[in-house]
């Protein structure tokens, strides 16, 4: 009985994500938890992962690429799982796991369960559907159980001082199917990382008329938060695609989410409905975001943001 958790070595904070995924796997078989990390930088990352409490060991596989192709990665996941006889394979529901785990499941000829936010038992899970408007309880008879998990939905286990063993993972050959040329250089002013930021300031199509995203970026910078965007803003070219929050973007749960000029379509709300405090600043008091927000201010964001910054700055 063991759980294999696959970690993205390129995540800005792999240890924080891993600690939550280990927290999520507590509801599973109750057996040993093994972490697997693959890539040119896997060694450096493995050291930090080894201090997460409650795991048996970290498997570390070298690969010549920093961004390992999913075909090569999936091969190693399958080999590691077979070697250890794992009955659960887990990765985060962000783009890393969302790309990897369905492939792994296809190779193992089982159906995965994606976007898990609650584990009822080792084979029964809760996940969102229809842009987060409905939750579904699904049970799988597949073995092994292949899952992607929303990290924010689970409390992290502590990270301690003592490190478990880091050992050599599978060394499958490279297959040469796909190859990454790296990330595009970005003009992104996004500051913090969306998945870990305590505060996220997001902008919508409401910024189109006032000359762009500067107010969002300024407020995020001042508050030490990350920048998010609605699809309306991305489609208008105001923000890069990877900043999009929602059903077809990122699903996040910051402590505070400040929406500037975002109407609050269900597809957008799907990405933030678990946020601690939703704040809406919108000229339209009837906008869905204003109706659902914990704190709603009716007003023009171009007037509100500068005075808000002033009022939140001491001295």
Partner 1 sequence: MIVLVAIKQIPDPLVPVRVKADGSGVEIHDARPVANPVDDNALEAALRLRESGAAQGVIAVCVGPPEWEGTLRTALAMGADRGIRIDAPDALDPWPVARLLAALAVREGVSLILAGRQAVDRDQGMVGLLVAGLLGWGQVAFASGLEWEEETGRCRVLRVVDGGQEVVTLRLPGVITVDPRLNTPRYASLPAIMRARGKSLESVSPGELGENLSSDLEWLSVFLPAARKPGVRVGDVAELAACLRALGVVACRS
The site for ligand FAD (CB under 6 A) is made up of 204-206, 210, 230-233, 244-249, 261-263, 265, 267-268, 281-284, 287, 300-302
**CB-nearer residue toward ligand FAD: 39 or 264:** 264
Question: Is the CB of residue 92 less than 8 Å from the CB of residue 101?
Answer: no
Min dist. Cβ of residue 205 to ligand FAD (A):
3
39 vs 240 by CB, closer to ligand FAD: 240
Between residues 159 and 292, which has the closer beta carbon with respect to partner 1?
292
Smallest distance from partner 1 to CB 294, Å: 4
Q: Of ligand FAD, partner 1, none, which one sits near residue 2, judging by CB under 5 to 8 A according to partner kind?
A: none
In Å, how far from its chain's centre is CA 32?
A: 24
Q: 278 contacts which partner out of partner 1, ligand FAD, none, CB within 5 to 8 A by kind?
A: partner 1
Residue 18 contact, options partner 1, ligand FAD, none, Cβ 5-8 Å cut-off depending on partner type: none
User: Using an 8 Å Cβ cutoff, are 4 and 89 in contact?
Assistant: yes
DSSP 264-290: --HHHHTTTTT-SEEEEEES-TTSHHH
Rounded to a whole number of angstroms, the minimum distance from the CB of residue 31 to partner 1 is 21
Sign of the CA dihedral with 301 first, then 295, 237, and 194 last: positive
Nearer to ligand FAD, 4 or 202 (CB): 202
Q: Which of ligand FAD, partner 1, none is residue 118 near (CB under 5 to 8 Å by kind)?
A: none
- Smallest distance from ligand FAD to CB 81, Å: 32
φ, ψ for residue 117, nearest 5 deg: -115, -5
**Shortest reach from residue 207's CB to ligand FAD, in Å:** 7
Using CB positions, name the residue nearest to ligand FAD: 246
How many whole angstroms separate alpha carbon 201 and alpha carbon 146? 34
Give 53 or 274: the residue with its C-beta nearer to ligand FAD.
Answer: 274
Beta strand 124-129 with 113-121: parallel, antiparallel or unpaired?
antiparallel
Contact of 258 with 202, CB cutoff 8 Å: yes
CB proximity list for 25: less than 8 A, separation 6 or greater: 3, 5, 33, 88, 90
Q: How far is the CB of 45 from partner 1 (least distance, A)?
A: 15
Selection from partner 1, ligand FAD, none that 109 binds (CB < 5 to 8 A by kind) is partner 1
Nearer to ligand FAD, 83 or 300 (CB): 300
Query: Residue 175, class by beta-carbon neighbours within 10 Å (0-12 exposed, 13-18 middle, 19+ buried)?
Result: exposed
Q: 14 is in the binding site of which of partner 1, ligand FAD, none (Cβ under 5 to 8 A by kind)?
A: none
Which is nearer to ligand FAD, 53 or 208 (by Cβ)? 208
Q: How far is the CB of 114 from ligand FAD (least distance, A)?
A: 16
How many angstroms separate the first and last alpha carbons of the chain? 58
Least CB distance to ligand FAD at residue 261 (A): 4
> Nearest Cα to 274, choosing from 135, 84, 171, 106?
135
Work out the angle between the directed axes of helices 42-49 and 14-25 (0-180°, nearest 10).
Answer: 50
Question: Which of partner 1, ligand FAD, none does 140 bind, CB closer than 5 to 8 A by kind?
Answer: partner 1
Cis peptide before 104 (omega within 30 of 0): no
The Cα angle at residue 252 between residues 250 and 253, in degrees rounded to 5: 170
- Nearer Cβ to partner 1 (1/136): 136
């Amino acid at each position: 009985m063991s759980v294999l958790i696959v970690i993205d070595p390129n995540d800005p904070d792999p240890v924080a994500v891993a600690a939550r995924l280990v927290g999520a796997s507590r509801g599973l078989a109750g057996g040993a938890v093994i972490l697997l990390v693959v890539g040119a930088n896997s060694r450096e990352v493995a050291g930090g992962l080894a201090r997460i409490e409650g795991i048996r060991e970290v498997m570390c596989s070298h690969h010549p690429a920093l961004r390992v192709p999913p075909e090569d990665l999936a091969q190693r996941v399958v080999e590691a799982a077979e070697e250890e006889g794992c009955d659960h394979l887990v990765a985060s529901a962000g783009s890393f796991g969302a790309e990897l785990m369905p492939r792994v499941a296809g190779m193992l000829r089982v159906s995965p369960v994606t976007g898990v936010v609650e584990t009822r038992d080792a084979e029964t899970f809760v996940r969102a559907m229809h842009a987060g408007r409905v939750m579904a309880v699904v049970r799988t008879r597949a073995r092994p159980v292949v899952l992607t998990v929303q990290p924010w939905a689970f409390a992290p286990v502590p990270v301690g001082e003592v490190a478990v063993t880091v050992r050599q993972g599978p060394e499958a050959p490279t297959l040469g199917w796909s190859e990454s040329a790296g990330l595009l250089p970005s003009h992104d002013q996004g500051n913090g990382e969306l998945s870990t930021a305590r505060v996220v300031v997001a902008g919508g199509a409401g910024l189109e008329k006032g000359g762009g995203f500067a107010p969002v970026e300024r407020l995020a910078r001042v508050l030490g938060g990350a920048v998010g965007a609605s699809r309306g803003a991305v489609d208008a070219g105001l923000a890069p695609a990877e900043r999009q929050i929602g059903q077809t973007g990122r699903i996040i749960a910051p402590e505070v989410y400040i929406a500037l000029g975002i109407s609050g379509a269900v597809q957008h709300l799907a990405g933030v409905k678990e946020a601690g405090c939703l704040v809406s600043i919108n000229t339209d008091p009837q906008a869905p975001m204003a109706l659902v927000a914990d704190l709603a201010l009716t007003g023009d964001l171009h007037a509100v943001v500068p005075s808000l910054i002033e009022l939140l700055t001491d001295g």
